[in-house]
């Protein structure tokens, strides 16, 4: 399985073998655990398959929701993004946590009382319309596929970096594992597996963070180390030191952003509303027994998420400081071993523009395009100091160094010189984060197929056993499509992830909130609002991110109100709200029984189990 | 089943809690973390500027507290109106 890799030089062979052995051990043990849980908790009925029988304890549900929510991107990429974006990274921190407040206060308790299985169920019943249901099903499937492809890719990346297998082999292994437990266990299997995965991923995230916080600030809690003084005897606060380092090298201050205030505002709002409108998050609140459990579940989920999300900015600041002090103006030959190790994966690179043998780190791209190493007979061509030579044309700024944001978490333990088992742990944590999210999304897709399409629209008279087979078949088909996208990632993945949040914010979120809080909201209002919101979001993304219908992708100065495509979901959401309110007031009120249903979901009493009909 | 008038009062009390809690939600994130980040940065919490700290730490702590306060308030309200389970 291991591919030949020139990284195995005799002198570091021993430590690398050690890391690899540890990785096989830890990753293998966690996989066995997940599969064991799936076998133990396999689903026997559709209720168990869709909502785990509706009997999951709120704390367990909170952990499962947290694991479901925190994807490969949260685990691997977020700290790195913050590390390079400084203050601007706050849009993700606030956006992906603040949404839970909206979810807990505006959606979760009422949807639990409503007592069906899916978001399209609610939209279809509340707006007494199969058109609305179908629009919701399509949105749910698009949003979930966008996400799941990224997860499979994440699984592949972790496998390739830590187990030395091809990325594609990694994707296949991940696919088989997810396939096995998502299809067998349904929501019940997934929920209990996710509880285990949360424990693995949070442990893997916290251990290196605590070690590095101790190293740099003598503080055992990273969140306190973040606002403490560095322990080099200077008495300078860590963040002040980082700002000074940035100033010396010509970067913008770390604690100041470069995005405009209105864009930061819009992106944060779009991510919050998008989070609250994502189908795979909402469905978690159908799995608890009572309305009050749905409320407290959201609290536990956010608490468990907040542990990672408040640690991420600390890791970001530690890693950034460590990185700059380690590499800036240092001779290549005196760099620690991790630099050349990650050079092998082409995630770091150095071009010696002024030929002084030292790394000059400054703002701007060091060279044109993505890293393209010179190779002869498959092996990289070493330069005068042993560095990997590049084919890329250098830029004319002073910067000589390229660092991929993703390595900030993955290489962190190595940079800090932590033992091999911790490095292996990080691999297992990244896999747990990717697998748990992928499984949750696959379930949404399979439910959309078996329940929202087959049961509700095509074959209402099928038996429960048949429906269960449709659900498993849907999950199987989805996992295969996801693996395909993992192996052949579409070039627009980054744009579509932003689109997923924008779409959820522009479509589901207003439709659900109005469905609960505005009794007068009717079918025409909700559908026209959703359609206008989706079209606006798609159109803006198509023109301003992908450059469709125009000659070139327009510059930032042409953005409407200075709002980027990532933040435009908040504008589309407001337009959706206004259109829905105006249209609903100009058309007939909803039927009596629908208005009664709204009254009923506002009162917790009598939620009962999630029902079939 | 409580009479309809009770349900209306229950719902109004619920909406009042939501208005208060969501105002705080907006204030700690969009307020302290974004709109007023510059003036707040003149103050410090430990080694961090206050506005920056709210954007990357404080708002998240506030979100967690807000949900647990909401749960407490609603459980009390459910009991008061006898609509709990």
Measured between CA atoms, the residue of chain A closest to residue B70 is: A105
Residue B35's Cα: distance from chain center in Å? 18
- Whether the predicted pLDDT of A160 surpasses 80: no
Which of A36 and A518 is assigned the larger pLDDT? A518
| Torsion region of A45: left, alpha or beta (phi above 0 gives left; psi -120 to 50 gives alpha) | beta
Neighbours of A562 (CB within 10 A): 15
**For chain A, percent of residues with pLDDT exceeding 70:** 90
A79-88, A330-339, A455-464: least confidently modelled range: A455-464
Chain-chain contact of B53 with A227 (C-beta, under 8 angstroms): yes
Determine the Cα–Cα distance for residues A596 and A592; give it in Å rounded to an integer: 6
A496-511, pLDDT tens digit by residue?
A: 666 778 888 998 899 9
What residue ranges define each of the domains in chain A, with the CATH number in brackets?
A: 41-323+419-601 (1.20.1730.10), 324-415 (no CATH)
Determine the Cα–Cα distance for residues A350 and A387; give it in Å rounded to an integer: 7
A425-429, A543-547, A604-608: least confidently modelled range: A604-608
A248-274, pLDDT tens digit by residue?
A: 998 888 888 788 899 999 999 999 999
- Whether the predicted pLDDT of B68 surpasses 80: yes
Q: What is the pLDDT of residue A418?
A: 80
Q: What average pLDDT score do residues A189-202 get?
A: 89
Q: What is the pLDDT of residue A11?
A: 45
Determine the Cα–Cα distance for residues B64 and A461; give it in Å rounded to an integer: 44
Chain-chain contact of B85 with A97 (C-beta, under 8 angstroms): no
ipTM of the complex: 0.95
Instruction: Kindly indicate the confidence band of residue A490, based on its pLDDT and cuts at 50, 70 and 90.
Output: low
- Whether the predicted pLDDT of A489 surpasses 70: no
Which of A590 and A259 is assigned the larger pLDDT? A590
**A78: buried, middle or exposed (CB in 10 Å: 19+, 13-18, 0-12)?**
buried
Measured between CA atoms, the residue of chain B closest to residue A310 is: B57
Q: What is the pLDDT of residue A104?
A: 92
A57-71, A180-194, A252-266: least confidently modelled range: A180-194
Q: What is the pLDDT of residue A613?
A: 41
Average pLDDT, chain A: 83
Neighbours of A252 (CB within 10 A): 16
User: Closest Cα of chain A to B55: distance in Å?
Assistant: 6
Return the H-helix or E-strand segment holding B10: helix B4-26
A79-92, pLDDT tens digit by residue?
A: 888 998 899 999 99
Size of interface A-B (CB pairs under 8 A): 132
Instruction: Kindly indicate the confidence band of residue A312, based on its pLDDT and cuts at 50, 70 and 90.
Output: very high
Q: What is the pLDDT of residue A543?
A: 86
Measured between CA atoms, the residue of chain A closest to residue B83 is: A605
Q: Find the CB nearest A100 among B18, B45, B63.
A: B63
Classify A152 as helix, strand or coil: helix
Contacts (Cβ under 8 Å, ≥6 apart) of A155: A72, A170, A171, A173, A174, A431, A434, A435, A438, A486
Length of chain A, in residues: 613
Determine the Cα–Cα distance for residues A432 and A197; give it in Å rounded to an integer: 5
Which of A232 and A207 is assigned the larger pLDDT? A207
Does residue A295 sit at the B interface (CB-CB below 8 Å)? Answer: yes
Instruction: Find the chain B residues whose C-beta atoms sit closer than 8 A to any C-beta of A.
Output: 1, 7, 10-11, 14, 18, 21-22, 25, 29-30, 33-35, 37, 41, 45-49, 52-53, 55-57, 59-61, 63-64, 66-68, 70-71, 74-75, 78, 83-85
Q: Find the CB nearest A94 among B1, B29, B85.
A: B29
Classify A284 as helix, strand or coil: helix
């Amino acid at each position: 399985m291991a591919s030949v890799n020139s990284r195995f030089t005799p002198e570091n062979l021993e430590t690398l073998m050690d890391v690899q052995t540890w990785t096989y051990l830890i990753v293998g043990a966690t996989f066995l655990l997940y599969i064991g849980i799936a076998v133990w908790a396999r689903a026997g009925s559709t209720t168990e398959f869709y909502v785990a029988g509706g009997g999951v304890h709120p704390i367990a549900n909170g952990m499962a929701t947290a694991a479901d929510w925190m994807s490969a991107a949260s685990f691997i990429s977020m700290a790195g993004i913050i590390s390079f974006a400084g203050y601007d990274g706050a849009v993700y921190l606030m956006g992906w946590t603040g949404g839970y407040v909206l979810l807990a206060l505006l959606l979760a308790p009422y949807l639990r009382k409503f007592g069906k299985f899916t978001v399209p169920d609610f939209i279809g019943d509340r707006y007494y319309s199969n058109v609305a249901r179908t629009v919701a099903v399509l949105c749910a499937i698009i949003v979930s596929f966008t996400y799941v492809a990224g997860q499979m890719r994440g699984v592949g990346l972790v496998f390739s970096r830590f187990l030395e297998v091809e990325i594609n082999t990694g994707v296949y292994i991940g696919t088989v594992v997810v396939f096995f437990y998502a299809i067998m266990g349904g929501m019940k299997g997934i929920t209990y597996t996710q509880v285990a995965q949360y424990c693995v991923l949070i442990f893997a995230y916290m251990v290196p963070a605590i070690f590095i916080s101790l190293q740099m600030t003598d503080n055992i809690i990273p969140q306190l180390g973040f606002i403490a003084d560095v322990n080099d005897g200077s008495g300078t606060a860590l963040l002040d030191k980082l700002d000074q380092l940035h100033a010396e090298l010509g970067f913008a201050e770390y604690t100041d952003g470069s995005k405009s205030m209105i864009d930061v505002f819009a992106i944060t709002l779009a991510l919050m509303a998008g989070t609250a409108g994502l189908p795979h998050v909402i469905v978690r609140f159908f799995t608890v027994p009572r309305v009050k459990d749905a409320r407290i579940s959201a609290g536990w989920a956010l608490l468990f998420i907040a542990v990672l999300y408040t640690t991420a900015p600390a890791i970001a600041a530690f890693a950034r400081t460590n990185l700059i002090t380690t590499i800036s103006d240092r001779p290549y030959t005196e760099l620690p071993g991790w630099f050349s190790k990650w050079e092998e994966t082409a995630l770091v690179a150095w071009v010696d523009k002024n030929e002084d043998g030292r790394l000059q780190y400054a703002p701007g791209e060091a060279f044109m395009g993505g890293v393209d190493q010179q190779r002869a007979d498959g092996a990289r061509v070493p330069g005068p100091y042993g560095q990997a030579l590049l084919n890329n044309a250098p830029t004319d700024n002073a910067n000589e160094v390229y660092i991929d944001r993703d390595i900030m978490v993955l290489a962190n333990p190595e940079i800090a010189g932590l033992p091999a088992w911790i490095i292996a742990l990080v691999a297992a944590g990244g896999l747990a984060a990717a697998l748990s999210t992928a499984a949750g999304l696959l379930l949404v897709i399979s439910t959309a197929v078996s329940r929202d399409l087959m049961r509700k629209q095509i074959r209402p008279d099928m038996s429960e056993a048949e429906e269960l087979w449709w659900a498993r078949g849907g999950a199987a088909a989805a996992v295969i499509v996801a693996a395909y996208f993992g192996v052949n990632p579409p070039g627009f993945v980054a744009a579509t992830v932003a689109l997923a949040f924008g779409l959820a914010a522009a479509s589901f979120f207003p439709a659900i909130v109005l469905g609960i809080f505005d009794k007068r909201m009717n079918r025409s209002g909700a559908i026209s609002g959703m359609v206008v919101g989706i079209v606006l979001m798609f159109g803006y993304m198509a023109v301003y991110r992908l450059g469709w219908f125009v000659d070139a992708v327009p510059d930032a100065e042409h953005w409407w109100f200075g709002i980027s495509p990532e933040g435009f979901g908040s504008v589309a959401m407001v337009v959706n709200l206004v259109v829905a309110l105006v249209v609903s007031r100009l058309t007939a009120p909803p039927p009596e029984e629908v208005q009664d249903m709204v009254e009923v979901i506002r009162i917790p009493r009598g939620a009962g189990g999630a029902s079939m009909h | 089943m409580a009479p309809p008038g009770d349900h209306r009062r229950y719902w109004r009390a619920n909406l009042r809690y939501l208005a208060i809690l969501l105002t705080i939600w907006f204030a700690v994130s969009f307020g302290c973390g974004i709109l007023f980040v510059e003036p707040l940065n003149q103050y410090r919490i430990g080694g961090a500027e206050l506005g920056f700290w709210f954007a990357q730490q404080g708002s998240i702590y506030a979100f967690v507290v807000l949900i647990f306060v909401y749960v407490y308030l609603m459980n009390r309200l459910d009991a008061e109106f006898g609509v709990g389970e």
